[in-house]
Amino acid sequence: MLKAVAGGGGRGMRVVRSAHDLEPAWARCTSEATSAFGRGDVYAERLVPAARHIEVQIVGDGTGAAVHLGERDCSIQRRNQKLLEIAPAPGLSDELRHRITGAAVALARSVRYANLGTVEFLVAARTHDEPGAAAPMELGADAEVWFIETNARIQVEHTVTEEVTGLDLVEIQLRLAAGATLADLGLAGPGDGSGAPVTGWAIQARINAETIDPSGLTRPSAGTITAFEPAAGPGVRVDTAAHQGMVVNPAFDSLLAKLIVARRSGSFDGAANKLYRALCETRIEGVDTNLDLLRSIVGHPQVGAATTGFLEANLGDLLDAVAHPRLHAGG
């Protein structure tokens, strides 16, 4: 995998499967990175085609003290851009969870990290190598873990961590910038590196303004939003600046809204079912969106154990479900 040093949001990345592909991929990657980020530096890392994307929310105050606020599963992606984010990550054994979060905290402490941040990993079972297959429902302590990167900022998917911890991460980041310590924030945490208990489940879906053709190709959708009626109710949160009458410009990021659901108890399937209903209750007209595709994804039986290759491997079935919607049978 070629990746832009200054990249983000899935941009400036190219897969290289043979030596023949290296030169054109390098040219495209550096060109895109220069255009998007003003810097064309590129590095290479091992391609792991059948892994889950697990990331850990960290907090450090610059003194060498750092804690984590749990992990998120961001495996369901299209062209390396996240579509669905889950907290906590389903199907991790306690040993594996502690191994991943412990590595993130150790990294933060070693550099005296001062900010919110996200340490990202790829995680896969040792016998798991099919790009689009479901990961084992339970990943044990012997799973392979690869470090990807650390994002030294708040991320789009911080919302699900807020919902399962009850913390306001934006407030924490501002207070850290003003000089607060972890003790001031009540995040000193126990010896295992955890800064706050995690309760229940939260899932976020990214609603984008885009047109999806029958082959699965997407392009930005532009126009004026003529109706904008997001879902509402207990345990439903919508972060958005969109509204009826808003003009959507295809020159900017296609994200229209973040739809987040939270359940304080019960199963992951119950949370997925709640998200499905919230997606069905959301009405946006005037521009095309990925709402139908999101409903199809959330209704898929692999949604809690998908790898990063899930969407590409199952796109035909997902689009068929969009064309022929079925009653969702989540728990």
Neighbouring-strand partners of residue 323 = none
Tokens of 276: 């499905």
- The encoded tokens of residue 288 equal 């095309």
DSSP, collapsed to helix, strand or coil, labels residue 203 as strand
In the structure encoding, which two tokens stand for residue 160, read together? 């699900």
Q: Which residue has the tokens 């610059």?
A: 62
Specify the pairing of strand 218-220 against strand 210-212.
Answer: antiparallel
The candidate with the shortest Cα–Cα distance to 205, out of 263, 300, 265, 272, is 272
Active-site residue flag, 153? yes
The size of the chain, in residues, is 331
Active-site residue (options: 17, 112, 153, 219): 153
Element (H, E) at 284: strand 283-285
Edge-first strand order for the sheet with 42-44 is 11-14, 2-8, 42-44
- DSSP E strand stretches across 62-125: 66-73, 77-78, 81-82, 84-87, 114-124
Catalytic residues: 153
